[in-house]
Amino acid sequence: MVDASRLPAWAGRNFSLLTGASVLSALGNSGALVASAFAVLAAGGSGTDVGLVAAARTVPLVVFLLVGGAVADRLPRQWVMVAANALNCLSQALFALLVLTGRPALWEMASLAALGGTGQAFFAPAASGMLLSAVPEGSSGPAFAVFRMGTNGAGILGAAFGGALVGAVGPGWVLAADAATFAASGALRAFLDVSHIPARVPGEGVWADLREGWHEVVGRPWLWSVVLQFAVVNAVVAAGESVYGPLVAEDRLGGAGAWGLALAAFGVGTLAGGALMTRLRPRRVLFAGLLCVLPLAAPSAALALALPTAALSAVMFATGISLEVFGVSWMTALHQEIPEEKFSRVSSYDWLGSLALVPVATAVAGPVQDAVGRTAALWGASALVVLLTVAVLCVPDVRRLHRRPAATTGTSTTPAEAALAPAVPGPATVEPGFTTKGLGVPAGGEETTSPAG
């Protein structure tokens, strides 16, 4: 049993419950990613059908994200999360039942995937806001790092066990296990203590709330510039991971095993980056984080050069470290600069920007390769990452945004005090002359911050 007295001061009840729930979800979701693809194939579907089911989840996620952010800032975030978990539990349980009892039709699987994506659209902004209120500002860096280490580690284990279980017992039972993790996660979140969070004051309506969230984003150049940057960066990275990586592995590296090893190295790198960020607290938090986006150009370059598997894995490991440093830095900046009562709306715009171009990029990756060649496409992807990152590093507010001291009195800040303290708009903290990205959502249907992280 864990001795609570040995835990860090910021690891309170809410943080522990949120982290535990997210670890459970990540375990189930990572296995469900493998299971859902094999369920479609087992039902007689093609590779195109697998893509259609994946797209059926993504489309409602993108469509409803902004509404989900507004709802999460109007209603208690805790119960928005629990309701979304219940919806995801239902969709995965029905999917499992269809697979276990017969051969499901493609439209049935796509419809259930769309139901899960809708639940995720409401869950993701609420989850970001809830984690914000559970962590004191001065300790947000190490807290977010530990949170992400837990979910990333669970994702790696879940993918490994999920693949083995699909082969041993079939995809239906793995989908049923994912439904059970959604139920357990929702139950944990029902026990969150929200007494320290001020009651939501009803606004003029959802659309008015969305306009207010939009003004929060466009009024902060450091925020909207990074969101635009990652709309493209996420897209080209997704194209490399989903399309070009497997093709290079098949043609030049000996098969799928090489690409699987490289992805595993990336996952281990994210754990190492999380461990690093439990101690590293750069003063120019956003500038330091964005410098670590530059290495995201390296995997595409390594694939263009067709480096041996060992060298490619080393590149992916280093990239995982860099991306995690950025992810924690991004969430730290958001935690510091965005008013708590508006965080979910801002998070929904961050999510939307991060996801919007991913389906387009994966769809056009093949035609681009046919038009210019795979090597040229990969070098182009690397160049886009570098050029966009350098452009954002030139934004003055990115260079000027400093980490604020935890407290001027020298005493620690409690989660309740952090949530109730007056929020200071971002520009007020920008010194003359110097955050979906934070919590990331597996495509299986849950959590936990913007995919850019």
Residue 27 has pLDDT above 80, yes or no: yes
pLDDT at 293 over 70: yes
pLDDT, average across residues 19-23? 89
Return the SS3 of 430. Answer: strand
pLDDT for 308-340, tens place per residue? 989 999 999 999 999 989 988 898 888 888 887
Name the percent of the chain lying above pLDDT 70: 83
Question: Is the link from the previous residue into 448 a cis peptide, with omega within 30 of 0?
Answer: yes
Phi-psi region of 285 (alpha: psi -120 to 50; beta: other; left: phi over 0): alpha
- pLDDT exceeds cutoff 90 at 85: yes
**What is the tally of helices (H) and strands (E) in the chain?**
18, 0
Q: Select the more confidently predicted residue: 260 or 367.
A: 367
Could you give the angle at which helices 343-355 and 106-134 cross, rounded to 10 degrees? 140
- What distance in Å separates the CA atoms of residue 202 and residue 159, rounded to the nearest whole number? 42
Statement: residue 1 has pLDDT above 60: no
Classify residue 206 as exposed, middle or buried by CB count within 10 Å of its CB (0-12, 13-18, 19+): middle
* Confidence band of 168 (pLDDT split at 50, 70, 90): confident
d(CA 310, CA 312): 5
User: Of the ranges 116-125, 195-204, 416-425, which is most confident?
Assistant: 116-125
Query: Once rounded to an integer, what is the mean pLDDT over residues 120-136?
Result: 79
- Higher-confidence residue: 216 or 242? 216
Mean pLDDT of 72-91: 89
The pLDDT assigned to 42 comes to 81
Predicted pLDDT of residue 288: 92
Choose the weakest-confidence range: 192-206, 210-224, 284-298, 355-369.
192-206
407: pLDDT strictly greater than 50:
no
Predicted confidence (pLDDT) at residue 428 exceeds the cutoff of 50: no
| pLDDT in the model for residue 170 | 83
Residue of 191 and 426 predicted with greater confidence:
191
How many other C-beta atoms lie within 10 A of the C-beta of residue 62?
16
3-state DSSP assignment of residue 401: strand
Higher pLDDT, 56 or 434: 56
- Side-chain half-sphere exposure of 424, counting CA atoms within 13 A: 9
Please check whether residue 91 is in contact with residue 116, taking contact to mean a CB–CB distance below 8 angstroms: yes
Lowest mean pLDDT among 24-33, 190-199, 320-329, 330-339: 190-199
More confident call, 138 vs 70: 70
Q: How far apart are the first and last CA of the chain?
A: 32
Assess whether pLDDT exceeds 80 at residue 17.
yes
Task: Write the DSSP assignment of 319-366 as a string of letters.
Answer: HHHHHHHHHHHHHHHHHHHS-GGGHHHHHHHHHHHHHTTHHHHHHHHH
Does position 93 have pLDDT exceeding 50, yes or no? yes
Q: What is the pLDDT of residue 304?
A: 93
| Predicted pLDDT at 386 | 96
Q: How far is CA 101 from CA 22, 37, 172, in A?
A: 30, 17, 9
Using the predicted structure, report yes or no on whether residue 448 has a pLDDT greater than 50.
no
Q: What's the token pair of residue 238? A: 């997704």
**Mean pLDDT of all residues belonging to the chain:** 79
Q: pLDDT digits over 255-266, tens only?
A: 767 877 888 888
- Whole-model pTM: value is 0.71
How does residue 157 score in pLDDT terms, banded at 50, 70 and 90? confident
Residue 274 — very low, low, confident or very high, per pLDDT cuts 50/70/90? confident
Dihedral (C-alpha) 343, 150, 96, 106: value to the nearest 10 degrees? Answer: 60
The one-letter amino acid at 377: A
Return the sign of the alpha-carbon dihedral for residues 87, 93, 97, 99.
positive
Does residue 275 register a pLDDT over 70?
yes
38 pLDDT tier (thresholds 50, 70, 90)? confident
With 60 as the cut, is the pLDDT of residue 171 above it? yes
Among 37-46, 220-229, 237-246, name the most confident range: 220-229
The confidence band for 200, taking pLDDT boundaries of 50, 70 and 90, is low
Q: What was the pLDDT predicted at 427?
A: 28
Local confidence band at 201 (pLDDT 50, 70, 90 cut-offs): low
